[in-house]
Amino acid sequence: MRKVLVIGAGGQIGTELVLRLREKLGSENAIAADVKADCPPSLKDGPFVQLDALDREAVRNFIIDQKITEVYLLAALLSATAEKKPDFAWKLNMEGLFTILDLAKEGHLKKIFWPSSIAVFGPTTPKDNTPQRTIMEPSTVYGISKQAGERWCEYYHDKFCVDVRSIRYPGLISYTTLPGGGTTDYAVDIFYQAKLGNKFSCFLEKDTRLPMMFMEDAIRATLDLMEAPAENIGIRSSYNLAGCDFTPEEIADEIKVHIPEFEIGYNADYRQAIAESWPSSIDDSHARQDWGWKEEFNLKDLVNVMLNNVNVDLLTQH
Ligand code: AKB
């Protein structure tokens, strides 16, 4: 019997992941938790608890009392925000992970999902078709925390048999919840400005190629990884995962196919250096071999779905 807790459920991944988990397991078996007191409207049909990932005792007590079997630990500061709040980013991104890893080590949890990121790579990493195992010298606080987290996940698996699974997410594109504080966020913001009829000012240069993925692919990958037999999971740090890759100019050109009058301008800021330190494209052959990963959405598909579904009212609700 699976009973899952999604910590950080109010974020971009959490809001969609909880819904899919509830479809699979029944609403009562997928509990949403967030540091914010208000449950996101789309998750109101199931259990919600206010939990701060940094409150070790509260998290421990809840998981033990409720007999949770699986945790998805999504609470984190992303790359751009982490550069502004390095101490807090390190604390949040690491301490919450130890709380959950320790619970699993003590036998209170059967499985853990913890998201990593393409940010684990750095300026010395081969940029094209970046391999699973390669030079990793991240130059951002976020990247350093994700790389350290990956090492700890593998350590807890190897030493204490903790069943922890992870994906190095690329930039995620979705329309139900706005992303917050990432370097890849431009590729979501652009759709809102296009729908509003505004010229979009991009904080990255036009030829900055980054790995990206439509949220539906990311959620399917997460669920498939978590359901794969343990013996198939050959990587306990985190799996490379590719969807598609594009530049700001390429996504703008694809939007112009639907909205010919759409305009984009380029005003690169501090996020340009972050983007330049990351891969342009990812080799995800291990995920394909080990648990059958295959992406479904390319740039054309995701632009189409985004333009049909983005609701500009979300901008005023935040
Ligand atoms: C970010 O831009 O920080 C995130 C990520 C790639 O992990 N979207």
Other CB atoms within 10 Å distance of the CB of residue 307: 17
Cβ neighbours of 110 (radius 10 Å)? 14
Distance 210 CA to ligand 1 centre (A): 10
**CA distance readout (Å), 267 to 128, 203, 212, 264:** 25, 5, 21, 10
Check if 116 has its Cβ closer than 6 Å to any atom of ligand 1.
Answer: no
Give which of 170, 193, 77, 71 is closest to 121, Cα–Cα.
170
Q: How far apart are CA 23 and CA 13, in angstroms?
A: 16
* pLDDT tens digits along 228-258: 999 999 999 999 999 999 999 999 999 999 9
- φ, ψ (nearest 5 deg) of residue 54: -85, -10
Q: Ligand 1 pocket, 277 CB below 6 A?
A: no
- Band (pLDDT 50/70/90 cuts) for residue 318 is low
What CA–CA distance (Å, rounded) separates 109 from 128?
38
Ligand 1 probe mutation, 77, 79, 245, most atoms within 8 A of CB = 79
Nearest CA to 113 out of 242, 225, 35 is that of: 225
pLDDT > 90? residue 102: yes
DSSP H or E run through 168:
strand 167-169
Please list, in sequence order, all residues whose beta carbon lies within 8 angstroms of the beta carbon of residue 276, skipping any fewer than 6 positions away: 123, 208
Distance 117 CA to ligand 1 centre (A): 7
12, 77, 78: residue to mutate for ligand 1 pocket, most atoms within 8 A of CB: 78
Rounded distance from Cα 179 to ligand 1 centre (Å): 9
Ordered by where they begin, the domains of the chain are 4-170+213-240 (3.40.50.720), 176-211+244-281+298-317 (3.90.25)
The 10s digit of each residue's pLDDT in 1-26 is 999 999 999 999 999 999 999 999 99
Report the predicted TM-score, pTM, of the whole model to 2 decimal places. 0.97
| Spatial separation of the C-alpha atoms in residues 153 and 281, rounded to whole Å | 24
- Give the N- to C-terminal CA distance of the chain in Å, as an integer: 37
Q: Are strands 70-73 and 116-117 parallel, antiparallel or unpaired?
A: unpaired
Picking from 78, 82, 118, the residue whose alpha carbon sits closest to that of residue 279 is 118
- The pLDDT value recorded for residue 97 is 98
**Ligand 1 pocket member 203 (CB < 6 A):** no
The residue written with tokens 């069943």 in the block is 163
d(CA 318, CA 303): 23
